[in-house]
Each structure stands twice: as structure tokens, then as C-alpha cells.
Structure 1
């Protein structure tokens, strides 16, 4: 199945025909059936596609209204199905929702192209960025994705039963590595199809050792970051697409708020101390007296890197696989944040915001 799909994807960039787009969409449906092996799940995705495609007609009233309709339909699905079943199909529905949202704002020509775009298990920017075929890029991304898969699946069981800093950090890192695996595998498949990935393999280091929470926002979901341009919008829309899930919503919105507070604080610190400590690395010809590799800048930037690593550990710790099949409860999330961390992360951000007001 995967082999024939990749052949069709490759041909699709050489031949821009209705047949190829239709075949790509049909193979996408076959891939869904192969993964879930249940016809009614295919019907749910087809129903979502039809509703989302028709919602495109409402963009003349407001360009984000179709996206709101997509989110509403996702919520209705969540309320209609039991938690375990909805968790199973949520990922594929979210990908389709993001693809259709892109289509609704910058529409392709015709329902066949929309059908191919929605059901093709390909990168969200397939129809935007093309490149010559490069055999090394997919090999590189496939290799790193397998490394992340092993790390996310094999490290966690060897942790000690006692809850300590190491346990919390690796638990959070395991959750992030599972995300890296999916992203790099998507990049690999997209590059096989002739699509130029939006980033190289080094993006995970910029998430694991983040200069700023804004970097985490960008590299965590590069496609959505390009689409919305705004840090807070990325996490707000992402949390909405996840439906009524307190843990995911709390984590995603927290990351957005953390990023906004940090941006304001570092902007004021850079002005007050005249050094390169902004969220985004300064150019070599910036107007600051103390450049990136001078002591004052290094101290401030290192401090924020450590704080951001702590925030990632705090926000990722509740994803401990204890309820991955049905979704984590409100009490579970608050128990981890409260009893294990004493709500240290939001307290630190509140202090940062207070300092921002004083400077």
C-alpha cells in the first residue's frame, strides 16, 4: 500500500491531472481503511470532508468562519462518540481539519483537488513547495524518525518507580519524541513525493534546548506557524482542534501565554541592559553594545534556556501514558502540576510578568 501510494505521489508532481489527484485521494482512503479496518471510520472522514468542503462557501462572510465550522464539527464528533473511539480517530481528523482550513482560505480548483489534498497522507504544504527529487533527504528524516521512535518507546519502561526530576524530565521528553517521530516521518514521506521540507533535522534541538518559548511554538508545529503567523493563534487553534480536553488545552494555551510573556520581558531586558537577549537571535550588525557571545548576553540567554527546559518538563510530565487511550482527566493533570511541581511553572511566569511591569 505505502509503495503504490508513494509512486502515485511522485507521479502527481509530474502529471497534474484529475486522474492522479483522484487516485491519490482514493489511496488515502485505502490507507485509512488499512490503519483502522472499520468502514464506519471511513464514513466519518468522508462526512467531515463534505461538511468542511461546503463550509468553504462561508468564507465570503469571514475568512476564519470555515475554520470555526471545522472546530464545531470536531467538538460534535467528540460529544457523539465515546472517549476511546474519539481518541483513536482524533489525529487523522485533526490533520484533515488543518488541510481543509488551508484549502478554505487559499482554495484549490475543484472538489477533486480538495479531495486529493484532504485524504492524501502527505505534508500540509504539499501543493505549495516542490523540489527536485533528493534521495538523501528522505533517508535522513527516516533515520531520525526511527531514532525518536526507539527513544519514545524504549526509554520510558526503564525509569525507576520513584517520581523525581529525572523521571519527570524523561516522561516529558518521551512525549516530545513521539511527536518528533511523526513529524520527521511526515517530512520523509513528503520529500519522497518531491516536496521540500520546511526545516532540516536540527529543528528538534531547537525544541529540546529552546532559546525561547517562541521557538518551541514555531518548531513544534511548523506548518501551522507558517499558516497563522501568530504564536498565541497557533496554540489557541491547536487546542480548539483537540476538542474538550483539559490537559491538552491547558498545556497548549500555557505555552502560548509563556511565549508572549517571555517576548515582552526579553524585549525590555535587551533595552535595559543593552545586550542581545531577545527571543530571536540578533544579527551581527544589531545596535546592542553587548553582542550574543559576550558575558552579559550569554548569562541572560542561558538563564532563559534553562527556564524553558523546566517549562517543557512541567508541561510534558502529565503525558505519562496512564490514560493515553481515553484522554487524561482534569484531576490527573492538576495532581501532577500541583503535587509534583507545586505549580512552579506558572508561578515563574507570573513573576516574569510582574518583572516586565516593573522594568
Structure 2
């Protein structure tokens, strides 16, 4: 997946200026030992820059230790603490949240290991941020979750695949591309495309509500110093409550979608479409019904 992203980014970046890299620089970029194992994607420009610029500051070894400790903390939560705190006899929605939480924590583990390797490889600290766990676990919106899940991949999708598409086309292409890069199967496609529609509908509805009420309740947070809304969390309790409600709704959707990535024996051979349908049917397809209702509200209001 990382090699495919690198190839596409080089092709797009160099197509306009007709300045393709030489074979040695290209192969070094493709098979960079720092990013081959766990990723993430880095641009060719950033890769070349480490040959000519000293990017490390004096605290780089402390950052590596911090990332390594955090990665193993997330690993322990994924494999031990989550299973211990929420046992198998709990309410079905708690079990769904547990499976989704374990999956997210394993993703944080891999991401922080990758960040450590980036710093060891001489890349600057500014490029080492791959995931933002706090903003995923306590999300302002699903849009923020998508951005914070894999920051380099979000940047790659934004700059390399959706330059000339409208909002809906951009969202659809983003998740189709992501599904293809992850290895297209029914489970991944169902989760990613569902997430794509979720984020699009949420973005449209919250933008509409923000305009109607002149309130800071859109999917993307305003920078406090630049917020132009009349009502915000500092002067209106209902704005704060509305954002909290949407955050709770995002956590609900994440539990539903993350349920697919459980720890059953099927994960070794790959999940079939039957497994996906059965998992969601156990929860009554509740999240999809909520999104459908959300879209109906948006359709009637616009």
C-alpha cells in the first residue's frame, strides 16, 4: 500500500514539470527501510531532504522513547485491558465498543512504532505525527476521526486524488481509493464506504445547522481567534451541548463500524461478507438507520 501511494505521488508531482527522479533515488524512495514495514507515506521531497538537511533536534532520542512507550501502552490496552474491563457477558453494545476499541488501540500501536522508526531514520519531528488518539476517542465529528486516523494518508488523498472533484465525488473517490489500497474485500469496502457516506451527511447537516443558527457547530472546528459565528462554546451552553451530542453520535458510529474488526479466528483468513452482515444484523443495522434518519432531516431542512 505504501509503495503504491509513493508511486502515485511521484507520478503526480513530477508530471507537470517533467522532471522524473533518477533510478537510484526512485528505488531508494520506494524501498526506504524506515517506511517499508509499517509506513507511513512520505513525499519524495521529504525523503530527498534528509540527505541535505540535519532535521533532528537535540531531543530526538526522548521523542523516540516516548513514542515507543506509548505504542506498548496501546498494545497492552488492545490485548489485555480492554478484554479485562469489558467481559464477554456484557451488553451487546459494550461488546461492540470493546472490539472497536481493541482495533483502534492496535492501530495506535502500529502508528507510534512507525513514528519511532521515522525519527530513527533521520526524518524531522514535524513528519512523525501519524495518528491523534485523543481526537479519535473523544471526537468532535467523524470528519475529524478520518483526518486524525492517518494524517499522512489524509494528506496524500487530499493532494493526490481529489484535486479536481466536487465534495461528493471527492468523498466517494477518497474511500474507494482507500478500500483499493487496503486490499479490496467486502468487509473493508462496506466499512469504508459506510464511513464515507456518514462523514458526507454529517458534514452537510452540520454546515447547514451552523449557517441557520450562526453557531459554531460545524463538523470542522473553528480556530477560536478566527471564529466568526455569533454563538460558540464560550457564550452559549446549547452550542456546547450540541457538539457533545454529535461527539456521542460519532462514538456510537465508531463502535458499530469497528465491530467488524474483532478478534475471532476469521481474522487469520479474512472476513467474508456473511460475517459482516451477521455482525451488523446483531445490532439491528442501528447505525445505518440513524444515518438514514440524519439524511432525511438534512433533506427536509435544505
Give the TM-score normalised by structure 1.
Answer: 0.69
Moved more, 212-221 or 112-121: 112-121
Aligned residue for 1:62?
A: none
| Secondary structure of residue in 1 paired with 2:204 | helix
Query: Does residue 1:292 correspond to 2:233, yes or no?
Result: yes
Alignment of 1:90-109 (within 5 A): 94-107=1-14, 109=21
Residue 118 of structure 1: how far off its partner (Å): 1.6
Query: Does residue 1:181 correspond to 2:109, yes or no?
Result: yes
Larger radius of gyration: 1
Query: Does residue 1:164 correspond to 2:85, yes or no?
Result: no
Residue 119 of structure 1: how far off its partner (Å): 1.7
2: distance between equivalents of 1:198 and 1:300? 34
Residue 256 of structure 1: how far off its partner (Å): 1.3
Query: Runs of 5+ in structure 1 lacking a partner?
Result: 1-93
Aligned residue for 1:148?
A: 74
8 Å contact from structure 1 (residues 126, 195) kept in 2: no
Alignment of 1:315-334 (within 5 A): 315-322=257-264, 323-334=266-277
8 Å contact from structure 1 (residues 126, 190) kept in 2: no
| Secondary structure of residue in 2 paired with 1:265 | helix
Q: What is the CA deviation profile of residues 193-237 of structure 1, one whole-angstrom value per residue up to 9, with x for unaligned ones?
A: 222344658811111111111111111121121112156243221
Residue 337 of structure 1: how far off its partner (Å): 0.4
8 Å contact from structure 1 (residues 217, 234) kept in 2: no
Aligned residue for 2:120?
A: 192
Give the TM-score normalised by structure 2.
Answer: 0.81
Query: Runs of 5+ in structure 2 lacking a partner?
Result: 15-19, 163-169
Q: What is the CA deviation profile of residues 280-334 of structure 1, one whole-angstrom value per residue up to 9, with x for unaligned ones?
A: 1123343311113321211111111000000000001121122111111111111
Residue 126 of structure 1: how far off its partner (Å): 6.0
2: distance between equivalents of 1:156 and 1:206? 19
8 Å contact from structure 2 (residues 115, 130) kept in 1: no
Residue 156 of structure 1: how far off its partner (Å): 5.0
Alignment of 1:28-177 (within 5 A): 94-107=1-14, 109-121=21-33, 122=35, 123-125=40-42, 127-129=44-46, 131-133=55-57, 134-158=60-84, 159-162=86-89, 164-177=92-105
Higher relative contact order (CA 8 A, sep 6+): 2
Classify 1:337/1:280 alpha carbon distance in 2 versus 1 (closer, same or farther; 3 Å).
same
Residue 181 of structure 1: how far off its partner (Å): 1.0
2: distance between equivalents of 1:178 and 1:234? 23
